[in-house]
């Protein structure tokens, strides 16, 4: 039997990828678990493993092809016992751009997913379909696949999740986001239509990361009813505590940053005001058990948000060590998907760039995102007298479907109490 190997969905939001490198050629015999290709997503480059054994009959997509849609056949496999056709020239689709070299490899993923349901019977499912089924407690053996060769794809799992036949087939927040996709927007006009002369600018093609950022931020700003709340904090006590900690534990390699202390304070505030640690879903408000704090890290051509999981349970030294490691590997594009996908709350800190205050766009499905500005000496009124203090402006952008004004204010009040009295974070 001939089977198509398709472009896998390596994350719930992936719609296309670049085929960076082939590790096989037509006529090669492959075994399950063997690395056959490298796929570049918007966040990382991942190795793809074979699931079935057989002989590569034909490579359908050229090495270096960009913008290959998920579930597009990329190779054809002859099953065990069948002869392979003579080697054929690999032809890229006309729309493919010039080859792009693979950057780094962070994780392996199967090109297709095979699930064993009973002896002698195999169920083919895409990686994304398998992941969604696992999250929703859906038995793939009871589904009929609509993909190539009867493979179960995302749409099949989503359809099963919406069928109220069993208690296990309830939609998870992740599935809800996949189903409720925003309608496509009209393509922007060309610069020439605005009067900008042709040839007066250089056009840098969009890579997958920039395309994804543009799509997600546009959808979030358009579809999420959001509003900002801003507060000024006095951080002299925090800076003093930070200095004492770093001095006392310098021999142990501890170096705490203001950002590390903000992560800890935000996590504790979310636990103190648990209603703010929430996400909107069409089925209800999801109240999260832990404060999983995603922190924006600038990398070439965009940004990524690695996550400090259960940050409320971790000390400052552990948060600092994890954040340093995550930021380093983020810039090298070596993060694993589970290290940047998910989270319950976001932090973006531009204080080190001298930005005094700003408001960020919500990182769905988080209910809030915090924007941290630079600490600076400012004149303030204290005890009815003019004084000088180090002040920092913080803004939270709230999803009004989840966090209303009073709830957002309660969160900021708790955050301020921890940051202005850092000893309270030790309780």
Q: Is 248 exposed, middle or buried (0-12, 13-18, 19+ CB in 10 A)?
A: exposed
Backbone angles phi, psi at 13, to 5 degrees: -100, -5
Q: Please check whether residue 209 is in contact with residue 331, taking contact to mean a CB–CB distance below 8 angstroms.
A: no
Return the structure tokens found at 174: 């992740």
Closest C-alpha among 80, 26, 23 to residue 52: 80
Query: How distant is the alpha carbon of residue 155 from its chain centre?
Result: 21
Residues 6+ apart with CB under 8 A from 202: none
C-alpha distances in Å from residue 389, one per residue of 261, 309, 347, 375:
19, 33, 24, 10
Q: State the helix-helix crossing angle for 258-272 and 405-420, rounded to 10 degrees.
A: 130
Residues 6+ apart with CB under 8 A from 93: 61, 65, 68
- Find the catalytic residue in 23, 104, 290, 400: 400
Q: Would residue 289 show up in a list of annotated catalytic residues for this protein?
A: no
Closest C-alpha among 285, 227, 261, 191 to residue 416: 261
Q: What whole-number distance in Å separates Cα of residue 49 and Cα of residue 417?
A: 50
Give the residue numbers annotated as catalytic, written as ranges: 400
């Amino acid at each position: 039997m001939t089977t198509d190997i398709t472009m896998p969905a390596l994350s719930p939001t992936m719609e296309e990828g670049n085929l960076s490198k082939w590790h096989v050629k037509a006529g090669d015999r492959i075994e399950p678990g063997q690395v056959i290709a490298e796929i570049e997503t918007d966040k990382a480059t991942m190795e793809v493993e074979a699931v079935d054994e057989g002989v590569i009959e034909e490579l359908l997509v050229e090495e270096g092809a960009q913008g290959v849609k998920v579930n597009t056949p990329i190779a054809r496999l002859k099953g065990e016992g069948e002869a392979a056709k003579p080697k054929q020239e690999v032809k890229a689709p006309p729309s493919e751009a010039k080859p792009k070299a693979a950057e780094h490899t962070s994780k392996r993923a199967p090109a297709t997913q095979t699930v064993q349901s009973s002896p002698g019977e195999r169920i083919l499912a895409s990686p994304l379909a398998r992941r969604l089924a696992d999250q929703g407690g859906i038995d793939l053996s009871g589904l009929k696949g609509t993909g190539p060769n009867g493979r179960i794809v995302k749409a099949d799992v989503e359809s099963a999740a919406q069928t109220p036949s069993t208690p296990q087939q309830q939609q998870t927040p992740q599935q809800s986001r996949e189903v409720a996709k925003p309608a496509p927007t009209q393509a922007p006009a060309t610069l020439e239509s605005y009067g900008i002369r042709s040839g007066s600018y250089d056009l840098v093609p969009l890579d997958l990361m920039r395309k994804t950022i543009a799509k997600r931020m546009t959808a979030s700003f358009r579809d999420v009813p959001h509003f900002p709340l801003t507060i000024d904090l006095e951080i002299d006590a925090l800076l003093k505590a930070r200095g004492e900690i770093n001095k006392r534990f310098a021999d142990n390699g501890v170096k705490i940053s203001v950002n590390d202390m903000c992560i800890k304070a935000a996590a504790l505030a979310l636990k103190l005001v648990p209603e703010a640690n929430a996400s909107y879903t069409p089925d209800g408000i999801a109240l999260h058990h832990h404060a999983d704090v995603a922190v924006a890290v600038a990398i070439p051509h965009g940004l990524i948000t690695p996550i400090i999981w259960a940050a409320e349970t971790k000390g400052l030294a552990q948060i600092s060590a994890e954040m340093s490691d995550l930021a380093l590997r983020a810039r090298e594009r070596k993060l694993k998907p589970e290290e940047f996908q998910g989270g319950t709350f976001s932090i973006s800190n531009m204080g080190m760039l001298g930005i005094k205050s700003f408001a960020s766009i919500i990182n769905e499905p988080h209910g809030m995102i915090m924007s941290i500005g630079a600490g600076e000496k400012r004149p303030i009124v204290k005890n009815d007298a003019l004084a000088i203090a180090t002040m920092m402006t913080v803004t939270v952008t709230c999803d009004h479907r989840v966090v209303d004004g009073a709830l957002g204010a309660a969160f900021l009040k708790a955050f301020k109490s921890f940051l202005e009295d850092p000893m309270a974070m030790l309780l």
